[in-house]
Amino acid sequence: MTSTDPTTPDRTTPSAGHNVVTSPPLPNETLLQVFDLNVDYGYGDDATHAVRNVSFRLAHGEFVGLVGESGSGKSTLGFALTGLSKPPAHIEKGRILFGGKDIAGLNSEQLREQRQGGIAMVLQSGMNALNPVRSIRNHFIDIFRAHGHVERSRWAARTHELVGKVELAPEVLDRFPGELSGGMRQRVSIALALSLEPQLMVFDEPTTALDVLVQHAVMNTIIELQKSENFTAILISHDLGIVLESAQRVMVMHEGQIVEDASARDILHNPQNEYTQMLLSHYADPRAETVELPGFADRATRVAAGESRGAGATHAPTVSSRERRTDQQPIVVTNVSKVYPAPRRGEKAVHALTDVSFTLEPGSALALVGASGSGKSTLAKLITAVEKPSSGTVHFGDLDVGTLSRRHFRQLHRDVQMVFQDPYAALNPLHTVEYALTRPVINFTGLHGRDARHRVLELLDTVGLSPVEEFAAKLPHQLSGGQRQRVVIARALASNPQVIIADEPVSMLDVSLRAGVLALLEDLREQWGVSLLYITHDLLSARVVTDNIMVLNQGSVVERGNTADVLRHPTDPYTIRLLDAIPNPRKNVA
């Protein structure tokens, strides 16, 4: 059923075809109405229909979540609502009424005029939204000067007031974006949007790639501001858990359409659409006695039952067979500290790591967890000899990583490989997948020509990318996020490593894609015997794929032990804070 009237009282979900869900009637005064909106990229037969037949309405003061995976059209819809769409994106048809006025066809000057007191948007990346060579104070002054809604004599007072609203100290105003943490930059972006005194705020993935503590704090700030300032809010996110915790009403978007629109309570307890049900199935509490995600249960449960991941999976293991290495060595970190010089004159040196010790045994998986700035990535740099410890030692077998010769340095990089956080930045956009994999194959195995190509195709098959010939010819932009991360893992496997250090490998992926990458890492352990150092702030994924866990706080180890035991029965207050900050809609949505 398709409707162009967003006031129609219907909560239908499509069972087949291209059906559109319309919103239930709202008792409050309507602020925004969207009628049969279609947004395309390009024109004619080559056009991509990113948003299709979308209709809904928002009331004054309402907090609505818009959730969907990458490519669902949610950000395209957000840009269309705020007039920030850029070519080749364009509104193909439909109407957007804001306060009764159609804003879909406004030119850039008209849009600029209506943004003050109208619609504001907080973009996904705080760093990309801010000018790196302008101080934070000057960002506010630029807005005041452009819109003229604040008298010059009040600029300083208004600027201090706005940073206070987002719980930042006034000293932040004299700093530059690169000197702030991710959470602080996102708070600055929110304060800049607030400076326009908008009636509608659109938040586009405001917590993506932030750790759980910062994510929790930023979302609390948004929720409190929405209540105190009484603006209407649209929270765009791929994380249904965050949306359900924050929003009163949730719109679920899939393939350009709103497939479900209901209260947060109804979405959680009575989801009607299969896509909504799939999104919910990927959430679990890492503190539960047993944890199950689509495809496999947590490692502790499987080990206790004597099962591999594949035994309980709905599909076969993702890794092709290979003989297990028998020459594996442990990584031994002993009393390691790392101190960085003071970033500014008069400031103190930064103690990134303090007296850290642990052993990663061959074939085991250790989770290294903590918030941003806890020292996780610094430790990975020390293990891979990118940096040297200030004190203490790192050994890989008999090799002292801090004093390697050139020959031993190459050996370390052959046996210890990294999988990085951002699959979009980890691959050269100009090179095909085959080229990206061929270089490490030649460098580490000495294979050339047909033999090297055969090895590349084997690697693609290993990480579950088939047909292999087709994927080998693709460029990175032709792959999904999950497929790119599988290519990054295949590149790490090209040297036949003993150890993989996975630094936040699923933090930027949709929930349905995360499960596939986690399953791949687990299969590499079970079938190849690869050791895994899993660096993350995602305690649920740590519970699923690792044997043991180590919790870092401000560079020091505060808790360690069996992963399931530590997460079920934490003893350190910091570990408890990490667990409490995880979105848990089943606890918070009554």
Query: Residue 182: which of 344, 372, 352 has the closest Cα?
Result: 372
Query: So what's the pLDDT on residue 306?
Result: 58
Burial (CB count within 10 angstroms: exposed 0-12, middle 13-18, buried 19+), residue 105: exposed
CATH superfamily of 310-314+333-341+349-424+498-583: P-loop containing nucleotide triphosphate hydrolases (3.40.50.300)
CA-only gyration radius of the chain, Å: 25
DSSP state, residue 24: P
Give residue 288's pLDDT: 86
CB distance 291 to 544 below 8 Å: yes
Say what the pLDDT of residue 296 is.
Answer: 61
Using alpha carbons, list the distances in angstroms from residue 105 to 95, 167, 178, 335. Answer: 9, 37, 37, 64
Whole-angstrom distance, CA of residue 248 vs CA of residue 262 = 9
The encoded tokens of residue 221 equal 């700030």
By the 8 A CB rule, do 468 and 461 touch? Answer: yes
- Please tell me the predicted confidence (pLDDT) of residue 44: 87
**pLDDT reported for residue 281:** 86
**How many Å apart are CA 21 and CA 32, to the nearest integer?**
17
pLDDT tens string, the chain, 590 residues long: the values are 334 444 443 444 443 333 444 444 344 689 999 999 999 999 988 888 999 999 999 999 999 999 998 888 999 999 999 998 988 999 999 999 998 899 988 888 888 777 777 899 998 776 678 999 999 999 999 999 988 888 999 999 999 999 999 989 999 999 999 888 778 888 999 999 999 999 999 999 888 767 888 888 899 999 999 999 999 999 999 888 899 989 999 999 999 999 999 999 999 999 999 999 999 888 888 888 888 777 665 665 555 555 555 444 443 345 555 556 667 899 999 999 999 998 777 778 889 999 999 999 999 999 999 988 889 989 999 999 999 999 999 999 999 998 888 888 888 989 999 998 778 788 999 999 999 999 999 999 889 999 999 999 999 988 888 899 999 999 998 887 778 888 999 999 999 999 999 988 887 778 777 888 888 888 888 888 899 999 988 898 899 899 999 999 999 999 999 999 999 999 999 999 999 888 876 665 65
What confidence score (pLDDT) does residue 254 get?
94
| Residue 235 near residue 203 (C-beta atoms within 8 A) | yes
**Domain 59-82+106-281: CATH architecture, name and number where available:** 3-Layer(aba) Sandwich (3.40)
Which helix H or strand E contains 379, and what residues bound it? helix 376-383
pLDDT for 18 equals 39
Give the pLDDT of residue 301: 57
Q: Looking at residue 25, what DSSP letter applies?
A: P
Bridge partners of residue 534, in order along the sequence: 367, 502
Q: What is the pLDDT of residue 7?
A: 43
The closest alpha carbon to 566, from 377, 369, 374, 378, belongs to: 369
Cβ partners under 8 Å of residue 442, min gap 6: 448, 452
Contacts 24+ apart (CB under 8 A), 435-439: 436/487, 436/491, 437/472, 437/487, 437/490, 437/491, 437/494
d(CA 550, CA 563): 8
Local structure of 363: helix, strand or coil: coil
Give the pLDDT score at 323.
58
Which pLDDT does position 12 carry in this prediction? 43
What is the Cα–Cα distance from 68 to 279, expressed in whole angstroms? Answer: 8
CB 484 within 8 A of CB 510: no
Provide the residue ranges of all domains of the chain, joining segments of one domain with +. Answer: 59-82+106-281, 310-314+333-341+349-424+498-583
DSSP 312: G
| 477 vs 463: CA distance, rounded Å | 18
CA distances for 315 relative to 169, 306, 545, angstroms: 52, 18, 17
Amino acid 170: pLDDT: 92
Cα–Cα dist 171/344, whole Å: 14
Helices 573-580 and 212-229 pack at an angle, to 10 degrees, of 50
* Cis? peptide before 88, omega within 30° of 0: yes
